[in-house]
Structure 1
């Protein structure tokens, strides 16, 4: 392929993503979700500037325990006198990091397995997909619980557990996309000029299978954050005193009747984050759907 052809192909891909962005901007709910996510990312990025981790987030101050929301403590304090707003901000860093890294691992591993299964077919396809079916037969949260229980509770093991439980989902999505494009003319042309199977898979097939993976990845981050909160809630995720929304819910549930803010605000943080990711995912699905093109 000549340099001129490469330039044309790159310009075409750029114009396609510009068109996707134009479609996405028309969806007000998707833009709202994107704005919320940007705010959350900025809060997580500058969490240390917003509140000092050691003195405000971790250090106990029993004299201020269970204080209601006020000018001093915007969202009140928890059972150990720690500022809930500061802990939610630092908890955003933990939840977003776990969600993004876990989903990235799932997409890479699942994408490669799905591409290989769909491209080669035959026995290799059957072996890979039957292994994925075995994983899918077990509820993802139960599989994550089993893996964390075996490896021990820690942030690394939590990311490993969530990523392993999500791999089959992306493998099936990529395989379906590969089956629909592996016999198209541009793949045949790549074979005709002597391109290797590895180059065809990574240079042509996987990039053209990204649209459904991007949408599912956005929704997958929401599921990963929810799984993180659920595992932390039962004591298998991020361990105290590190701030994590699920463990904050677990620690404050016994004070729910007379200190509602201890559990309400971490729960609202989880809800807003999941909602924003779902709104963005729905918007990306509509923007990337070729059937919506005029």
Structure 2
């Protein structure tokens, strides 16, 4: 690993900085490093939220309760069948109706929150960890490493994300674990390019240059100064990525490549109800609505975090 030449040589000159004293590269990357160092308070962030953002926060809190305490919202068994009650339309006793086996769709949607969120968060975590390795290696590894890693990421980035996930599943076979890993791998190239850009910007900042002048070791500079500040903006994008991962994982389950029926998982419920769209629309409508609202809520909150981080 090698730090950028500007850091070793003493940093960017005065004309290479923007009006706020930040490196010009950081400004071009859209990162307010001084803002990241100050760390905007949680109270200030929530105080700036609008109606849409508060609705998103409320819905995400509801999802969290459904994931951690599903029996509190739906005390029934999501796998309990009652053939005599099959294909019952939404109404009293079954607000979301029942499926082809008489299972309560509302109970299954609520209990399907946990696996759907776990898949989304796990896939995003895998993508971030892989991106952290490749992104920092490209930014700090010298020209040869940067060239090799960047070309590799460009090849992966040329594939549509969902297609890349399908290729991984084709090689390793379907399943909920495989689909989670596949979605994580598919999202990694995009995160890696962002981390590379942010790492290079942070490595040119005044506080990193000061650490070099003070004789701090490269490992200490990387661990205490570069990585925390380079990764911070990425965690804003993670909020957006979780919603995307939920949608992609559900799409794979809908294709029969992820969680399989009768699992109480939103994508698997779509797969089970696809043959009854015209006769029992509620079997696909409600799990589909849960997917859309979850993705929308994480997107709205992620955009708010993104705007806040750039101030």
TM range (shorter): 0.7 to 0.9
Find out whether 1:135 has 2:156 as its counterpart: yes
Aligned-pair distance for 1:199?
Answer: 2.3
Distance in 1 between residues matched to 2:221 and 2:54, nearest whole Å: 35
Please say if residues 153 and 239 of structure 1, whose CA atoms lie closer than 8 Å, have aligned partners that are also in contact: no
Distance in 2 between residues matched to 1:132 and 1:24, nearest whole Å: 36
Deviation readout 1:126-178 (Å, 9 max, x if unpaired): 11111111111111111111212222222221211111111111111111111
Aligned-pair distance for 1:276?
Answer: 0.3
Corresponding residue SS for 1:56: coil
Find out whether 1:167 has 2:206 as its counterpart: no
The equivalent residue for 1:256 is: 277
Aligned-pair distance for 1:232?
Answer: 0.3
Find out whether 1:43 has 2:66 as its counterpart: yes
* Aligned-residue RMSD, C-alpha: 1.9
Distance in 1 between residues matched to 2:176 and 2:278, nearest whole Å: 31
Instruction: Output aligned runs, 1:89-128, within 5 Å.
Output: 89-128=110-149
The equivalent residue for 1:195 is: 216
Aligned-pair distance for 1:64?
Answer: 0.7
Corresponding residue to 1:228 among 249, 256, 266: 249
User: Residues 183 and 177 from structure 1, CA distance in 2 versus in 1: closer, same or farther, beyond 3 angstroms?
Assistant: same
Q: Which runs of 5 or more residues in structure 1 are unaligned? A: 1-11
Corresponding residue to 1:150 among 154, 157, 171: 171
Aligned-pair distance for 1:59?
Answer: 2.8
Please say if residues 65 and 81 of structure 1, whose CA atoms lie closer than 8 Å, have aligned partners that are also in contact: yes
User: Residues 21 and 214 from structure 1, CA distance in 2 versus in 1: closer, same or farther, beyond 3 angstroms?
Assistant: farther
Please say if residues 75 and 84 of structure 1, whose CA atoms lie closer than 8 Å, have aligned partners that are also in contact: yes
TM (normalized to structure 1)? 0.88
Aligned-pair distance for 1:49?
Answer: 4.3
Distance in 2 between residues matched to 1:198 and 1:80, nearest whole Å: 59
TM (normalized to structure 2)? 0.83
Please say if residues 176 and 258 of structure 2, whose CA atoms lie closer than 8 Å, have aligned partners that are also in contact: yes
The equivalent residue for 1:23 is: 45
The equivalent residue for 1:206 is: 227
User: Residues 24 and 283 from structure 1, CA distance in 2 versus in 1: closer, same or farther, beyond 3 angstroms?
Assistant: farther
Please say if residues 115 and 201 of structure 1, whose CA atoms lie closer than 8 Å, have aligned partners that are also in contact: no
Deviation readout 1:202-242 (Å, 9 max, x if unpaired): 21112112343022111111110000110000000111111
User: Residues 194 and 14 from structure 1, CA distance in 2 versus in 1: closer, same or farther, beyond 3 angstroms?
Assistant: closer
Aligned-pair distance for 1:14?
Answer: 9.0
Find out whether 1:277 has 2:298 as its counterpart: yes
Distance in 2 between residues matched to 1:115 and 1:263, nearest whole Å: 42
Please say if residues 211 and 288 of structure 1, whose CA atoms lie closer than 8 Å, have aligned partners that are also in contact: no
Corresponding residue SS for 1:58: coil
Distance in 2 between residues matched to 1:195 and 1:31, nearest whole Å: 44
Deviation readout 1:249-291 (Å, 9 max, x if unpaired): 222122222322111111111111011011001110111113x
Distance in 2 between residues matched to 1:24 and 1:211, nearest whole Å: 18
User: Residues 169 and 160 from structure 1, CA distance in 2 versus in 1: closer, same or farther, beyond 3 angstroms?
Assistant: same
